Amino acid sequence: MKRTAFLAALASLALPTLASAKVTFTGYGDLRYNAGTQFTLEAPPATLTRLGTTGTHATSRGFSANAIGLFASTQVQEDLQFLMDVTFKNIGSSVDDLSLQYAYLDWAPAGEAHVRGGRVTVPFGYYNENRFYAFQRYEITPPIFQSSILGLPIADWGVSGQDKFRFAPFTVEASAYVVNGYGSQSNQPTALRSISVLGGLTLSRNLHSTDNNHKPSGGARVSLQEIGGQKVETGLSYYGGWWDSSGLEPMYMLDYHLHAVYKGFDLLFETLHLGVRGDTGFQQSLGSPNWTTDGGFANLSYGELRVKGKTLAPYGQIESYRTRPNNGDSAREILRSWSAGLALAVSPQLTFKGEYLRLSYMLTDVASAGSVSLPADIVQLAAVVTF
């Protein structure tokens, strides 16, 4: 239930300001228990050899901290904040990943307008800005293509601007940005995506941002919000840039999103169209350096169920993405997943989650004339705490 109270901050020249801006720290922890992961990697010997890996059937189980994040916020002046997120990820016996998720100055010149500069979360789609963090969503596992291959959050060094325009039956939110953009793999300058980056099969963290050339990338998003006074939002997003070091090979993305909340049901639907040219990395698998990915995901949850006064939210999620070469051949990479789970909010700061996920990944590798198949079943429990 929404509760609103009001404060007023006084701006007056008569009172002295504080000598230094105070930094406010908040944070979160996403603690996991892998109750059972089973996956099978199957491919012909020639394909496995080319990808530098071996076929396997593996199971795993164990505790870990998926992410622990610290947010820092400080008011530099009345209309200017500096915001930062440092996240420790994939924490087992050591920290595998230390990320600066975002770090930017946020200027609010007037009304609902914002101009951000630094490492900004790119206003692309809905999920990226509103569901990336574990405390922003019920599900444990975000859509795998967006999170593992595209890489969530989509954040980059640059500048973004946003404003809202309120009309009677709806609100229009418009955003635009200029950033460094996605770039090639560090050890393969002509490869944007490659599933054998490190001499082995690499599916996740396949795309990443890098200041690869003299041309910035950019894009925009337009959303219709509060349609008819209801919690309904729909929008279109575009990203475009050049990913290779010469600045000649394009990459673009189009995204459509629909988010609706009605009588406790929360539906998010997002589709993605991704187009790339000149990618010699993925060419070996797809048979062409020019390829497109089409797909999307849908997430449905119900947040009005109460058990002893606590919210118990069932949810389900499905996704499907296909990548095909632009030479007319059929899709060579197919990623599908579905998951279902429950989230129990025992307090505003603590939520327990349980989830089953089924992943199906298939890649037809043209270079070795074979197919990689990776089905996986994952059962997880999670505790998400905010502070």
Partner 1 sequence: MSKAESDGQHLARLLETELQGKVALRRVSYSDRELADPIAKGRLVASLESAKLVVALGDESSRLVLGEVENARVYFVAASASGQTLRGGSVSCLFTYSAEDLLRALPEKAKRGVLVLYTPGYEPLLPEIKAAAAKAGAQVTAKSVAGRRQLPDAVRDTEDMTKAIWVLGDPILDEGASFEFLTERALALGLPLMTAAAGRVARGAALASVAAPESLTRRAAQAIAALAAGGKAGGLALAPAGGPIIYNAALKDRLGLSPRAPQWQKAQ
Binding site for partner 1 (CB under 8 A): 1-12, 14-18, 21-28, 71-75, 77-78, 81, 83, 85, 133, 135-136, 348-349, 386-387
Min dist CB 229 to partner 1, Å, is 14
Min dist CB 13 to partner 1, Å, is 9
Min dist CB 105 to partner 1, Å, is 13
The nearer residue to partner 1, 28 or 239, going by C-beta atoms, is: 28
Min dist CB 227 to partner 1, Å, is 20
Provide CB contacts within 8 A for 186, sequence distance 6+.
210
The nearer residue to partner 1, 280 or 386, going by C-beta atoms, is: 386
Which DSSP string corresponds to 134-150? GGG-S-SSPPHIIIIII
Provide CB contacts within 8 A for 24, sequence distance 6+.
72, 73, 74
Whole-number Å distance between alpha carbons of 209 and 100? 13
Residue 9's φ and ψ, nearest 5 degrees, are -105, 130
Tokens of 108: 């609010």
Half-sphere exposure (Cβ direction) of 197: Cα atoms closer than 13 Å: 20
The nearer residue to partner 1, 74 or 234, going by C-beta atoms, is: 74
Whole-number Å distance between alpha carbons of 254 and 124? 9
Min dist CB 40 to partner 1, Å, is 38
CA 263 to chain CA centroid, Å, is 27
The nearer residue to partner 1, 101 or 213, going by C-beta atoms, is: 101
The nearer residue to partner 1, 106 or 249, going by C-beta atoms, is: 106
Min dist CB 76 to partner 1, Å, is 8
Tokens of 324: 């095909």
The nearer residue to partner 1, 135 or 256, going by C-beta atoms, is: 135
DSSP H or E segment with residue 171 = strand 171-179
Q: What angle do CA 171, 79, 163 make, to 5 degrees?
A: 20
